[in-house]
Amino acid sequence: MRGSYLRMKLHCLDRKFFHSSPSLAPIQLPSPMETHLWYVIPSEVKSKALLNQFLDILSPCEKENVFQMRGEEPRKRALLARALVRTTIARYQINSQVSPRSLRFRKNIHGKPELEWQFSDHWLSPPLHFNISHTSSLVACGVTVNSQIGIDVEEKNRTIKHNILSFARRYFSKDEVQFLADILDPEIQRQEFVKLWTLKEAYVKALGKGFSGAPFKTFTIRYNGGGGVNPLENLNCEAQEIVVDTSDEPIELTNNWQFELLELAGSHYAAICMENNFSSEGKRTVPVKLTVWKTIPFLEEECVSGTDAVKTISGSK
């Protein structure tokens, strides 16, 4: 991915790539309590010219981070992550001069990346929130309006070096350890471990306080089946609600967070955690509308909601 690739003949590509900033089709903002999820499969992005277009919209700092990665594939993933965020957010700015390159980002007090809004550009736009996650084979970006969001993706067949229960005893809550320990089939135990990890990560990322702001041991994520049914019997049941209990906060306060757990692209578990600002009295959760697109920025997109690429495992209905 060096500058010399710009000299490559672009005969295979759409002529629009000759422009310094390729055009982006605008998209409608998510409504409140709606989540948009965008993902890229790195192995499908092969064009070096396209990768250079992505590089071109990054800030100097982001470029530096990309080149600090060891190896071509990790560099490509880091590049795709930033390009996905910038192009996606720019597309929501329908009425302004915002381009992917002009977006500014900063970190909140705990280090969570967020958008820095420039007054002149789009003071009329509602605040967009986003969160990124990636594995070696998928890069994802979740977007909401007016609501904190955290996402985490992991490969379904992810394994860990340590024994699962040893790891859980060290980092997870007692209830979560018990939940995992009760699963006798090692493969199902491993799957449930990965799902639980993604949910816990998504929650911490949504909170935006960093790993130490919400130590994993201090909260429990569990499946809430109706009517006292044993959650284990209802694994993979869509009716299951996912809830978080924290040991140091009263239960009422934890109603604010809602979760979705999906199987994405057939290969990944994806957990989305978002703030619920709209719970009416007596109702714990509000149905969250989720729309998912598979995309290659500047090139193509496909709405995959309702297809096999997106399978809800648990969450609010």
Partner 1 sequence: MASATASSVSFTSLSSSLKKNQVSHLKKVSVSFGGKSFKPVPLRFRVACAAKPETVEKVCEIVRKQLALPADSAITGESKFASLGADSLDTVEIVMGLEEEFEISVEEESAQSITTVQEAADMIEKLKE
Binding site for partner 1 (CB under 8 A): 68-71, 74, 134-136, 154, 158, 160-162, 167, 170-171, 197, 201, 210-212, 215-216
Residue closer to partner 1 (CB basis): 128 or 177: 177
* HEC profile of 104-166: EEEECCCCCEEEECCHHHHCCCCCEEEEEEECCCCEEEEEEECCCEEEEEEECCCCCCCCHHH
- Cβ atoms of 35 and 316 closer than 8 Å: no
Closest distance of CB 304 from partner 1, Å? 24
Residue closer to partner 1 (CB basis): 8 or 160: 160
Closest distance of CB 22 from partner 1, Å? 29
Residue closer to partner 1 (CB basis): 91 or 112: 112
Closest distance of CB 70 from partner 1, Å? 6
How many Å apart are CA 215 and CA 204, to the nearest integer?
A: 8
Continuous segment of H or E residues that includes residue 37: strand 34-40
Closest distance of CB 133 from partner 1, Å? 9
Q: How many CA atoms lie within 13 A of 290 on its CB side?
A: 32
Residue closer to partner 1 (CB basis): 143 or 168: 168
Closest distance of CB 154 from partner 1, Å? 7
Residue closer to partner 1 (CB basis): 215 or 287: 215
Residues in the chain: 317
- Dihedral through CA 154, CA 160, CA 165, CA 168, nearest 10? -50
Closest distance of CB 226 from partner 1, Å? 32
Residue closer to partner 1 (CB basis): 22 or 150: 150
- Cβ atoms of 17 and 50 closer than 8 Å: yes
Q: Which residue intervals of the chain are DSSP H helices?
A: 48-56, 60-68, 72-92, 119-122, 164-171, 174-181, 186-207
Closest CA to 195 of 274, 137, 269: 269
Residue closer to partner 1 (CB basis): 91 or 268: 268
Closest CA to 143 of 119, 124, 115, 122: 115
Residue closer to partner 1 (CB basis): 2 or 70: 70
Closest distance of CB 152 from partner 1, Å? 8
**CB count in 10 Å sphere of residue 168:** 23
Closest distance of CB 130 from partner 1, Å? 18
